[in-house]
Amino acid sequence: MEERTLNNIELFHQSRWLNGNLKDYYVNNVYWAIVNRTLVIRLHHPMYPEKRLVIDNGRAIWVTEIKLEEEGSDPLLRQFRNFLARGKISKITQLGTERIIDIEFIGSLAKHLIAEFFSRGNIILVDEKNVILTALEYYQTRHRTIAVGKEYLTPPERGLDPLKVDFIHLRPLLKYEDDFRRWIGKNLALPKKYIDILPKMLEVKEGTKGNELDEEKILKMLEKIKEFFREENISPVIYLSDNEVVDFSITPIPVNGLVHQSIQNLNEALDKIFTKIVLHEKEKEALYPLIREKEKKRKAIDELINKRDEMLEDKNFLTKLADKIKENLQLLYQDYGEFKKTLLPAKIEKDEDGLEKIVYKRYGFEFDKNKPLKTCSEIYDVAKRLVEDAKKIGESINGMQKEIGKIEKKIIVKEKTISRECKKAREREWFEKYRWFYTSENMLAVGGRDASSNEAIIKKYLEDEDIVFHAEIVGAPFFILKNGIKAGESSLKEVAIAAVSFSNFWKMGASAGEAYWVYKHQISKQAPSGQYMGKGAFMISGKRNYIRNVPIELALGVVKVKEHYSVVCGPVEALKKYCENYLVIIPGNEDKNSIAKKIVRYFYDRIGEVVKDIPFEEFIQALPPGGCKLKSLKLNV
């Protein structure tokens, strides 16, 4: 696929999709996918899965589930992070029908991120006064200056805005004496791809001149142009060649040799096309040092082979030369001129002292007509040394070939690593940010990890049909049981076990504790007069439904959530129901890091490579507070 950038029609529709899907999302962090080229903005939302917004400078903007971001930072990236920190997306728009996207933020120092997709492209941050804070590229043209502290100005419009054009603007076409598409291309801001399909849409032949159109055709053309920008008229498709996605369009346009396939939205097409391009470029970038090292050694081997071959050729000639001298000793004394001819291309020349030498290439041998066999011996000695030197070069070549083999193995390992790193990013469910499990009755229980998450689950996720659990001890999380008013005894007991086990009862090393549950209307943030209700604390009123003598014991397992695997920790009876492999843990003295390593080893031995896709931190975060002990487990660690 040739270099592809989004045109203004595609940006028009993509900006609307982005606005509908990313509005009210918060900036989590900013990364490079490709340094100084492709920006990845990790976004989060209190209610919805995390997103990755990719801005590939000058090419495209889209949302992906693929992990493209690289760790690390540089001064420019730190600026983007600082200016976008705590930002909440309030609106995403296209500036007119220009190839410019404006992402508006609230809560951050930067109020707008402006992505330009023309010429060299650019990514620019500006403040509330439209003053530039930072940019990917700084430059100055006749119409504007991109520099810190300067007001951001859009470039002059190139052609009429298709959404503002009217019949009066197209009237000159009626006198145009060339292909009407040329006039459209020169005067309207429309991409060639869509201009080229106008003849078919107008039901006129290719090459129709402007003066061959009538007013009715002009009005129809005007309507067709505006239809390009109407959401209800687009039917995005991707084009495939040998089952590989190679292009896309907002509407089916026949392309020779390619089949098209309908897709849900334009973002899906951009993700398939541009994510693949970025991954390919990242792969080249990552493998470049190894490939360069391999090429250098390959070049060195070629040079050594040429040198060795030349040495062996010289050895063969020199051996024959010495043989010829011995064979023509009689001729040497009878006809010296003819003798010289037998030695060609070697020559007999005199040096500055008048002494004769047999010369061939860089080799020279003193030649005394009275002692020819001495010269032969010297020539044989040089030929012998050439064989030895050629052998040493051969050994060097073998050594380098082995080194190339090692480099090729490194390349294979690196390619596998890149492939694994470029796997589909895990789209997390909202509850995975907290403690969670499904009860044996398949009811979702969600608990806080700290004061902030306690506050969040009660304020954001507690609904009328839910019930709330808490351990009867200071220092305990709230757990909500979704649709808990319909829960049976087993679910109630299981959530009580979780509420007690994730509390300070665990830190105390207790074997049992007690918990209670209440309804939503019994929970309040309203503190009694003269008192203050801190973060994560709530007032409980009315009857508390106690569950006593609750055992303090948990199970930890790995389960599939959507398309990824996640760590879950909860009551043993609950995990038994949907975890094929799980471990039972009780309060103990072993630190979390040590326990987590054993747990990872256990699951790796049983379910394999998928465990590598789960960050080690998730195993640590899943464990209850305080020390732990693995119950009845024997591991060779």
Which domains does the chain possess? 8-146 (2.30.310.10), 167-228 (1.10.8), 237-263 (no CATH), 292-421 (no CATH), 430-630 (no CATH)
Task: Please give the Cα distance from 42 to 1 (Å, whole number).
Answer: 28
Beta strands in 322-466 (DSSP E): 347-350, 356-360, 363-366, 435-438, 444-447
For the CA atoms of the chain, what is the radius of gyration?
38
Task: Please give the Cα distance from 496 to 507 (Å, whole number).
Answer: 17
Long-range Cβ pairs for the range 421-425 (8 Å, 24+): 421/67, 422/66, 422/67, 422/68, 422/279, 422/282, 423/66, 423/67, 423/613, 424/65, 424/66, 424/67, 424/563, 424/564, 425/52, 425/64, 425/65, 425/66, 425/67
The CA–CA distances, whole Å, from 247 to 33, 178, 271 equal 22, 30, 11
Task: Please give the Cα distance from 294 to 407 (Å, whole number).
Answer: 7
Q: Two tokens at 166? A: 């009217």
Beta strands in 509-581 (DSSP E): 512-519, 523-524, 539-540, 545-551, 554-561, 564-570
Task: Please give the Cα distance from 611 to 603 (Å, whole number).
Answer: 7
Nearest to 202 by CA among 173, 240, 177, 159: 173
On the 0-12 / 13-18 / 19+ scale of CB atoms within 10 A, 418 is: middle
3-state secondary structure of 176: coil
Residue 539 has what pLDDT? 87
3-state secondary structure of 80: helix
562, amino acid identity: K
Task: Please give the Cα distance from 67 to 65 (Å, whole number).
Answer: 6
Residue 1 has what pLDDT? 46
b/e sequence 491-512, b meaning 16+ C-beta within 10 Å = bbbbbbbbbbbbbbbbeeebee
Residue 515 has what pLDDT? 96
Nearest to 155 by CA among 117, 125, 181, 190: 117
Task: Please give the Cα distance from 133 to 79 (Å, whole number).
Answer: 9
Nearest to 459 by CA among 536, 549, 405, 397: 536
Task: Please give the Cα distance from 80 to 66 (Å, whole number).
Answer: 21
Concatenate the DSSP letters of all residues of 141-157 into one string.
-SS-EE-TTSBP-PPPP
Q: Two tokens at 287? A: 């493998």
Q: For each successive 10 residues of the chain (637 residues), what is the average pLDDT? A: 80 95 94 92 85 95 88 91 96 95 97 95 97 96 94 90 91 93 92 90 92 93 91 86 85 83 89 88 81 89 94 94 92 90 91 88 90 92 94 94 91 73 60 92 93 85 94 93 95 97 94 95 82 80 94 93 86 91 92 90 85 82 90 52
Residue 352 has what pLDDT? 83
- Chain centroid to CA 103: how far? 21
3-state secondary structure of 272: helix
